[in-house]
Amino acid sequence: KMNVEIKEGLEGIIACKTSISRVDIEDGKAVLEYRGYNIHDLARYSTYEETAYLLLFGELPTKKELKAFEEELKDLRDLPAQIIGLLTHLPPFTHPMVVLRTAISYLGSMDKEKHFMDYEHSIQKAKSLIAKIPTIIAYFHRIRTGQNLVHPNPDLGHAENFLYMLKGEVPDRIEARALDVDLILHADHELNASTFAARIAASTLADMYACVVAATGTLMGPLHGGAAQKVIEMLREIAVPWRAEEYVLKKLERKERIMGFGHRIYRNVMDPRTIELRNLAKKLAKMKDSKWFEIAEEVAKAVYKHKGLLPNVDFYSACVYACLGIPDDLFIPIFAMGRIAGWTAHIIEQYVNNRLIRPRALYIGEKGKKYIPLRERG
Ligand code: CMC
């Protein structure tokens, strides 16, 4: 007999064991750790490359291991000519997340070893995806705007090289570090929707590209990573700080969701990533003389006052990207650029200790109806 207790949205359900990241509420404060290391320490001291290594291999690298990992990523940044051809052929109005999904699928079609799921092959594919996603995003943007491609520069780190390929000039150190920290903060987050999608695909023993395509499709929705793009669209609409409260009130009256607020896990506690991103956004706004942070602060105040909701990771990351001069529709792809380390680590964890993920549904439709042949139905 079926257990009829349903948790809509699987809220509070523990669906698997993991040793990749931990989210807990301790003494009224939220804690987020990757492989046992606190997110605040990682944001302060780590780099995206080191964090990706940590997520994939479970331990912080030695100096030598990190150097070797960074070199491998650099060697994997280039895209096969066919992928560049694909980027050229896709309509320029295609959303870059759709481009990313399609290009990852194409990479899968080109990998003759895609069905090898052993640890070594999986790690190799993970490195390749981590290295290539920034190139896919930057190249597509250059192509759609009619600019020459800026090829990866092996003298530059992961975040720095992405900004270089996107804009055609080496970013200053503060900008490069801001994106680096942002990628660290987005690198993993337990069983969020896109990671769960990746694990469901992995649980069927689908290949890694298929799993990442599932995750990419899931991340795009506005209740997940899509919120970051909606946040900047909202800030642009509000345009001046004094209009924020009125905007928020109108939205709430219409029972509409305000993007960048609320979280399934961080109900009444601040998301630790939001704290870091708010600091980053504040610093960048000052440096760039940008208005986005000031407007964002007014929105946050109003949403808290009238609905008691706190900002989530997508809220201030939108301000960070806007200050870095990143086009609005690249916000979600940059989330993917960070999260790919977590997705691949989770896919590998699922492969290693697999059981098919296949829950049940409570049927609430009609039962046992008599079939009437078409000719008698009129
Ligand atoms: N704006 C207005 N009201 C909200 C919002 C919001 N952003 N989020 C939650 N609420 C309300 C919701 O209507 C409900 O109110 P009431 O009890 O009066 O009906 C209450 O808060 C509880 O919400 P819920 O529907 O139980 O929350 P959930 O856990 O199902 O949803 C969420 C979580 C993130 C989908 C939701 O907060 C939301 O839609 N936020 C806006 C989209 C967003 O920013 N997403 C990014 C999430 S964080 C990182 C990521 O995954 O990318």
Q: Which among 196, 233, 264, 332 is the best mutation to test ligand 1's pocket, defined by most ligand atoms within 8 Å of the CB?
A: 264
Q: Which among 232, 312, 321, 339 is the best mutation to test ligand 1's pocket, defined by most ligand atoms within 8 Å of the CB?
A: 312
Give the distance (Å) from ligand 1 centre to CA of residue 260: 9
Q: Which residue is closest in CA terms to ligand 1's atom 46? A: 224
Looking at the CA of residue 231, tell me the nearest atom of ligand 1. Answer: 44
Tens-place pLDDT, residues 296-337: 999 999 999 999 999 999 999 999 999 999 999 999 999 999
CATH number, domain of 166, equals 1.10.580.10
Q: Are residues 171 and 242 in the same domain?
A: no
Final residue before a domain boundary, out of 323, 338, 371: 323
7 occurs within a structural domain = no
Question: Counting beta carbons within 10 angstroms of the beta carbon of residue 285, is it exposed (0 to 12), middle (13 to 18) or buried (19 or more)?
Answer: buried
Q: Are residues 149 and 243 in the same domain?
A: no
Tens-place pLDDT, residues 117-174: 999 999 999 999 999 999 999 999 999 999 999 999 999 999 999 999 999 999 999 9
Q: Are residues 174 and 266 in the same domain?
A: no
Give the distance (Å) from ligand 1 centre to CA of residue 308: 11
Question: How many Cα atoms within 13 Å fall on the side-chain side of residue 310?
Answer: 17
For the chain, what percent of residues have pLDDT higher than 90? Answer: 98
250 occurs within a structural domain = yes
Q: Which residue has the tokens 């870095």?
A: 324
Q: Are residues 46 and 105 in the same domain?
A: yes
Looking at the CA of residue 315, tell me the nearest atom of ligand 1. Answer: 44
14 occurs within a structural domain = no
Active site residues: 263, 314
**DSSP tag of 311:** B
Residue 327 φ/ψ, nearest 5 degrees: -60, 145
Strand arrangement of the beta sheet that strand 21-26 belongs to:
21-26, 29-34, 37-38
The helix/strand/coil state of 229 is helix
Q: Are residues 194 and 238 in the same domain?
A: no
Tens-place pLDDT, residues 2-22: 568 899 999 999 999 999 999
**DSSP tag of 328:** G
CATH number, domain of 233, equals 1.10.230.10
Tens-place pLDDT, residues 42-75: 999 999 999 999 999 999 999 999 999 999 999 9
66 occurs within a structural domain = yes
Q: Are residues 67 and 210 in the same domain?
A: yes
Q: Are residues 54 and 172 in the same domain?
A: yes
Give the distance (Å) from ligand 1 centre to CA of residue 257: 7
Q: Are residues 42 and 162 in the same domain?
A: yes
Q: Are residues 215 and 81 in the same domain?
A: yes
Give the distance (Å) from ligand 1 centre to CA of residue 9: 12
Integer Cα distance of 225 and 83 in angstroms: 24
Number of domains in the chain: 2
Q: Are residues 319 and 332 in the same domain?
A: no
Contact by Cβ (8 Å): 365, 216: no
Integer Cα distance of 171 and 288 in angstroms: 13
Domain that holds residue 300: 227-323
pLDDT at 378: 82
Give the distance (Å) from ligand 1 centre to CA of residue 28: 20
pLDDT at 80: 98
Q: Are residues 169 and 266 in the same domain?
A: no
Region 209-233: what's the mean pLDDT?
97
Looking at the CA of residue 193, tell me the nearest atom of ligand 1. Answer: 51
pLDDT at 218: 98
Residue 178 φ/ψ, nearest 5 degrees: -60, -45
Q: Which residue is closest in CA terms to ligand 1's atom 30? A: 264
Integer Cα distance of 150 and 109 in angstroms: 25
Q: Are residues 192 and 244 in the same domain?
A: no
Q: Which residue is closest in CA terms to ligand 1's atom 23? A: 262
Give the distance (Å) from ligand 1 centre to CA of residue 312: 10
Looking at the CA of residue 267, tell me the nearest atom of ligand 1. Answer: 29
Looking at the CA of residue 226, tell me the nearest atom of ligand 1. Answer: 52
370 occurs within a structural domain = no
2 occurs within a structural domain = no
List pocket residues of ligand 1, CB cut-off 6 Å.
Answer: 9, 192, 223-225, 227, 257-264, 307, 309, 312-314
Cα dihedral 76, 81, 86, 91 sign: positive
Q: Which residue is closest in CA terms to ligand 1's atom 8? A: 262
Q: Which among 223, 319, 339 is the best mutation to test ligand 1's pocket, defined by most ligand atoms within 8 Å of the CB?
A: 223
333 occurs within a structural domain = yes
Tens-place pLDDT, residues 80-110: 999 999 999 999 999 999 999 999 999 999 9
367 occurs within a structural domain = no
